[in-house]
Amino acid sequence: MKLLVTVLACVVLAATAVPALAADESKVKSATQQVETGAKKIGAGKVGEGVEETAKGIGNTVAEGAKFSGEKIKESGKAAEPKAKSAWESVRDGTVDFGHGVKSFFTRLFGS
């Protein structure tokens, strides 16, 4: 009985935690269905078979959720990177800054 309660607690935990992590629903849903199938087998009296399938399903769900989360973090990191300036933009900005510096120097030197 303790085993059944433990397995069902794991099923509930996996089912609630992983969908929040995963939007790649094909692989994660498949793994989650494996957990559900195992839990149903336990409920139908096939405890040994159900526990094995549930454990594999939990492992697969966590693994697929982690893979997908890593991909999403990588994508969001790339989206947050600042746009690289082209060589022309850098030269232009440097030239403009230099011009302002020269103007400022002579303005202070000769007074407006």
What pTM was estimated for this model as a whole?
A: 0.48
Radius of gyration over every alpha carbon of the chain, rounded to an integer in angstroms: 29
Q: What is the pLDDT of residues 75-103, one digit of tens each?
A: 777 776 666 667 778 788 888 888 888 78
Nearest to 36 by CA among 7, 68, 2, 73: 7
Element (H, E) at 24: none
